[in-house]
C-alpha cells in the first residue's frame, strides 16, 4: 500500500510540476504549485515526518502561496506579457537547456542508485520531529532561514513598488 501511495503522490507532484511550467496564466501556475506542495506533504507523511508534512501544508501551501497569489494579483500580469511571440529564439534555447538538465539529472540519479543500496534503509527515529527541526532551523540553518525571510520581504516590497509605478504612469483621466 505504501508503495502505491508513493507512486500516486509522486505522479501527482510530477504532473502538477509539468503543468506549472506550461501554464500561460500566472494564477494557474501558482495553483499548480499548491498541488505540488500537497503531494510533497504526502511524501513526508510516508517518511513518518508528520511535523514536516504539517509545516509543508501550513507554511508553504498556506502562507507562502497566499503571498505569491497576492503578488501575482497585485501585479495583474496579463497573458500577452508572456506570449510565445515576444522572443521566439528563447523557446528553443529553453528546450535545449531543459533537455540538458534532464540528461544531467538522469546521469546523477543513475550514479546515485548504483552506488548506494536503497533496500532496507532505516530512517532515524527523530527524523522530522519538532526537536530536530527546531535544533536545525535555529542552530545550523539560522542564517539561511533569516536571509530567506529578508528575501521574501524584499520581494513583496519590490512588487508593491512596481505596482505603484504602473498606476502613476497612467494619465489621470484613465484611472477613474
**pLDDT tens digits, residue range 66-113?**
888 877 777 776 555 555 556 677 778 888 888 898 999 888 888 877
pLDDT digits (tens, 9 = 90+) for 133-169: 888 888 999 999 899 989 988 988 887 787 776 555 5
Q: Which of 16, 29, 15, 38 is nearest to 71 (CA)?
A: 29
pTM over 0.85: no
Phi first, then psi: what are they for 97, rounded to 5°? Answer: -65, -40
pLDDT digits (tens, 9 = 90+) for 53-65: 998 899 888 888 8
CA atoms within 13 A on the CB side of 126: 7
Centre a 10 Å sphere on the Cβ of residue 74 and count the other Cβ atoms it contains.
14
- Distance (Å, rounded) from C-alpha 81 to C-alpha 46? 41
All structural domains of the chain, each given as residue ranges with its CATH number in brackets, are 1-83 (1.20.120.1200)
User: 160 or 120, which is more confident?
Assistant: 160
Amino acid at each position: 500500500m505504501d508503495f502505491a501511495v508513493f507512486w500516486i503522490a509522486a505522479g501527482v507532484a510530477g504532473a502538477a510540476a509539468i503543468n506549472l511550467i506550461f501554464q500561460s496564466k500566472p494564477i494557474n501556475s501558482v495553483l499548480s504549485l499548491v498541488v505540488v506542495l500537497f503531494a510533497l506533504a504526502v511524501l513526508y507523511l510516508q517518511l513518518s515526518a508528520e511535523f514536516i508534512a504539517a509545516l509543508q501544508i501550513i507554511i508553504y501551501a498556506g502562507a507562502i502561496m497566499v503571498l505569491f497569489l497576492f503578488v501575482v494579483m497585485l501585479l495583474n500580469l496579463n497573458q500577452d506579457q508572456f506570449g510565445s511571440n515576444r522572443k521566439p529564439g528563447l523557446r528553443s534555447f529553453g528546450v535545449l537547456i531543459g533537455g540538458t538538465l534532464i540528461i544531467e539529472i538522469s546521469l546523477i540519479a543513475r550514479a546515485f542508485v548504483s552506488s548506494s543500496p536503497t533496500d532496507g534503509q532505516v530512517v532515524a527515529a527523530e527524523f522530522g520531529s519538532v526537536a530536530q527541526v527546531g535544533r536545525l532551523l535555529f542552530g545550523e540553518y539560522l542564517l539561511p532561514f533569516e536571509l530567506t525571510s529578508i528575501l521574501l520581504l524584499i520581494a513583496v516590497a519590490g512588487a508593491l513598488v512596481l505596482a505603484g509605478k504602473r498606476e502613476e504612469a497612467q494619465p489621470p483621466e484613465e484611472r477613474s
